[in-house]
Structure 1
Amino acid sequence: MDGPDERLQGSGRGSDPERVDFQLSFFATEAEQIAQIDQRAETEQVSAFSFSEADWRAALASGSGFANGKERIAAYYAEHHSAKERTAFLKQEYGTGGQSWTFQDGSNGFLDYDARGIKLRSYPKGQEQRLKWSEVEKRIHVLIATGQYRDEAEQTVPTEGEILREKLAERGIVNGQLVDPEKLDSDPFIRQVVADAEATKETVSA
């Protein structure tokens, strides 16, 4: 008759292949977890990096990357829209894309735009920082208010909105009002503008 010692020997753990596989699987998973932790730490370190205010000021003051984009932005801010409206406008004006970029210290990188905001990215270090569109709006607002958005040479060049307002004033429309009624009969352009304005009022009131 078998004794208790023999039963214990039969249930030894050292020779159980399933147990060995489990241990190997456990250690592999632990190694993966450590790798993930290291990766997260590296990501957090990159995301915590901040470029200088001078770098961001230069990037935001460069415009949207499209022709006359900077002038359109300045003109839109001059129209006294709300912060929410300005944020939506900037997101649409910049769109999705980017360009190569030279930082203040002479190093190179990229300036990217997408639905989440604007991102500065250094190369080859890979350091990056993103500003949400609401943050971009606030910074551009400050640059415009303090006269840092357009330099002196750019300020002497009228924006598209300023050119349009000048042309309208020459033809008798100032601040959306017809100041020279006689031109209503003699100028087809004025008649069309007045007709469009009336149609817009009817649409809004409907």
Structure 2
Amino acid sequence: MLRLGGNTDRQRERVVAAFEKLKTTAEIAEILKTLYHGGNGLGSVSAWYAEDGIHLSHGKSVRYDRSAQVISWESAAERIGELLESGQFASNVELAEAAGYERSLLAEKLWHLYHDFSDKARDSGYLSCLSGIQRTGFPEETAWLAEQLSDPAFRQTLKEEYAAFWTDYQQDRDLLRFHYHRPREIWENLKDLDLPRRTFSSDLSQVPTVQHFITEDEIDAAMTGGSSFAGGKGRIYAFFMENHTDKEKVRFLKDEYGIGGRSHALSGATHSGEDHDGKGLHYKKQDCPDVHLNWEKVAKRITSLVQKGRYLTEQEQAQYDKIQAEKDLAEEDAIQAQQPEIEEETPKPTLRAV
């Protein structure tokens, strides 16, 4: 599971790079948390990657299995270290390309950052050492930058210029057009390139593999993402909280999902996806048999998730409860506001002489 799982592109090379830089076990454990996410099915075992470690169990589900074996991230880091020492974690090609791939990933982050500079930032001359990027295209420019990052002198200049930019950006957000970038992460990645590195060796031309499968946990997690339309998850939850027949639920889901799909649907894996049409939901993931669920099965599955309190996250549930409480309060206020009018319209009884 450590070698083949995780759901991150070229994951073994990223892990190797961390070990090459002589990171501590605690540091590597934190890195593993970001690289291993979602779930995997390998052979007869399912895995789910959680905050406390890797949950393992035989079968197609493990996320809520109280008897699951839990491997802490520190233990996972130690085990990977042992596999690297014995040449059993990655292939010889992956070991050779790990450092270069690390530079490529950083080059992509810097490319996106540089191309999001505002006119104000460009006029001020921030990151002038990247002026070699002449809008020749993403592949060419990132390849050039990755090569430059192998030069210690270039890295030193870049660090100095980046430090100046980052300091000013914290005071002036107008230096960037978009703000999804992670400046601290880029800075840490830059510093990491100057760390001393050790090398590993392996006789493996390729890593041994086993049969993969899509786990039930991954399917449930994908379903709790809702439909492809804004607000779809909330609409689905609200409908399933009401009293509806199975046929009504099926009809509702068909209309809500419509025809379409999305990528990265299972565990955030690049080569995975979800398609939906009049027949139901269809899941695909690289090296795994496809899974097809008709709308009747989807409706039953969502009903179960709602009943078990697993359809919404804790934050989403709190937000839903807050909205419902506000609606209930508004309805009570409306009823109370109408009450005097009702009393005025009600005729008073008259007294009769006996």
Q: What's the secondary structure of 2:312's corresponding residue?
A: coil
In structure 2, C-alpha distance between the alignment counterparts of 1:73 and 1:89, rounded to whole Å: 8
Native 8 Å contact 1:72 1:159 kept in 2: no
Q: What's the secondary structure of 2:263's corresponding residue?
A: strand
- Report the residue type matching 1:86 in the other structure: K
* Per-residue deviation, residues 84-130 of structure 1 (Å, max 9, x unmatched): 1111111111111111124338453111110000111124x474211
Aligned to 1:144: 306
Aligned to 2:295: 133
Report deviation, 1:182.
3.2
Are positions 1:110 and 2:110 aligned together? Answer: no
Are positions 1:90 and 2:253 aligned together? Answer: yes
Report deviation, 1:166.
4.5
Native 8 Å contact 1:143 1:149 kept in 2: yes
TM-score using structure 1 length? 0.55
Report deviation, 1:164.
4.7
Question: How many aligned positions are there?
Answer: 131
Q: Which runs of 5+ in 1 are unaligned?
A: 1-48, 174-178, 186-206
Report deviation, 1:140.
0.3
Q: Pairwise mapping of residues 1-206 of structure 1 onto structure 2 (< 5 A)?
A: 51-104=214-267, 106=269, 108-123=271-286, 125=287, 127-158=289-320, 162=324, 164-172=327-335, 180-182=338-340
Q: Which sits farther off after the overlay, 82-91 or 161-170? A: 161-170
* Per-residue deviation, residues 124-162 of structure 1 (Å, max 9, x unmatched): x47421100000000000000001100101001127983
Report deviation, 1:52.
0.9
Native 8 Å contact 2:213 2:288 kept in 1: no
Report deviation, 1:65.
1.8
Q: 1:169 to 1:52 in 2, by over 3 A?
A: same
Aligned to 2:41: none
* Per-residue deviation, residues 59-88 of structure 1 (Å, max 9, x unmatched): 111101211111111111111111111111
Aligned to 2:28: none
Q: 1:164 to 1:108 in 2, by over 3 A?
A: farther
Q: 1:183 to 1:87 in 2, by over 3 A?
A: farther
Q: Which runs of 5+ in 2 are unaligned?
A: 1-211, 344-354
In structure 2, C-alpha distance between the alignment counterparts of 1:82 and 1:54, rounded to whole Å: 26
Q: What's the secondary structure of 1:64's corresponding residue?
A: coil
Report deviation, 1:183.
5.9
In structure 2, C-alpha distance between the alignment counterparts of 1:122 and 1:165, rounded to whole Å: 43
Q: Which sits farther off after the overlay, 150-159 or 140-149? A: 150-159
In structure 2, C-alpha distance between the alignment counterparts of 1:61 and 1:172, rounded to whole Å: 36
Native 8 Å contact 2:281 2:293 kept in 1: yes
Q: 1:50 to 1:92 in 2, by over 3 A?
A: farther
CA RMSD of aligned residues (A): 2.9
In structure 2, C-alpha distance between the alignment counterparts of 1:94 and 1:159, rounded to whole Å: 24
Native 8 Å contact 1:75 1:161 kept in 2: no
- Report the residue type matching 1:74 in the other structure: Y
- Report the residue type matching 2:245 in the other structure: S
Identity %: 31
In structure 1, C-alpha distance between the alignment counterparts of 2:254 and 2:274, rounded to whole Å: 15
Q: What's the secondary structure of 2:319's corresponding residue?
A: coil
Q: 1:168 to 1:137 in 2, by over 3 A?
A: same
Structure with greater helix percent: 1
Aligned to 1:23: none
- Report the residue type matching 1:149 in the other structure: Y
Q: What's the secondary structure of 1:140's corresponding residue?
A: helix
Q: Which sits farther off after the overlay, 137-146 or 67-76? A: 67-76
